[in-house]
Structures are given as C-alpha cells and as structure tokens.
Amino acid sequence: MIDASKLMYSIGKIFNIIEIASCAINMIAGILLRIFAIDIQAMIEADTTLEQVISSSNILWILSLVYLILSILFFVISIIIRKNINYSTANTKAHILMIIIGVIINIFYTLGGIFGLVGEKGMHKE
C-alpha cells in the first residue's frame, strides 16, 4: 500500500503539472480573444455584439488566472507535504492533508492519501 501511495502521489504530480499548463493556455487564449475581439466579432454572426465577445474573453482569462493560481498554490503545498512524509514513522496528518488537497484539486492525491493511511496503519500495527 505504501508503494501504491507513492505511485498515486507521483501520478497526481504529473496531472497537476498538466493542469497548470492547460490553465496557462486558457488564460493566454482569453487574453488573445480580448485583443482580437473586434476582428472576431466581425467574423461571427451579426447579432453577436462586441461587448459579448469582450465579456466572454474576460470571463475566460480571469477564471483561468484564478484556477492557475490555485493550482500552483496546491502544487507547492503538495510538494511540501510530500517532503514531510516519512514512511518509517506514523505520519497520518500528512496523508490527511493530501486527501483534502485531492478532494479540492486532484483525485490521485486523495487515492495516495488513502493508500498511505492504510499502508501506515498496517505497517505500524505489526
């Protein structure tokens, strides 16, 4: 179970990096949409106003920015927590924190935390 926990944390880290990259791409797309809003509005149907194009671009890049900041924050927190996990001693607080982070951001952190708790319970029970 300890090895499964380590594997889940590694997979979660990879998915978190992909998530950060996709948020950055969405944010850049929103900014480009805002820059070229007049050209885009001219290419699409006549009943779409410039304000609609600009407001949709603002929503896209602002939400992407917020999610990017949260993703980076939780990525850094998860790295700090993973460095503090020592499988030779009982360390349930770190796994519980990873479960909480996993519920918010990444399911693999949740699975790694559950496997870590079960693995430590079995290891220290003997």
CB 85 within 8 A of CB 94: yes
CB 16 within 8 A of CB 106: yes
Region 55-73: what's the mean pLDDT? 89
- Average of pLDDT values for 114-119? 88
- What is the reported pLDDT for 85? 82
Do the Cβ atoms of 13 and 78 come closer than 8 Å? yes
pLDDT bucket at 111, cuts 50 / 70 / 90: very high
Q: Is the confidence at residue 48, as pLDDT, over 70? A: no
Torsion angles phi and psi, residue 82, rounded to 5? -65, -35
Does residue 83 surpass a pLDDT of 60? yes
Closest listed residue to residue 112, CA positions, set 3, 14, 13, 9: 9
For 111, counting Cβ atoms within 10 Å of its Cβ (0-12 exposed, 13-18 middle, 19+ buried), the class is: buried
Burial of 34 (0-12, 13-18, 19+ CB in 10 A): middle
5-30 confidence digits (pLDDT tens): 889 989 999 999 999 999 999 999 88
Distance CA 93, CA 27 (A): 35
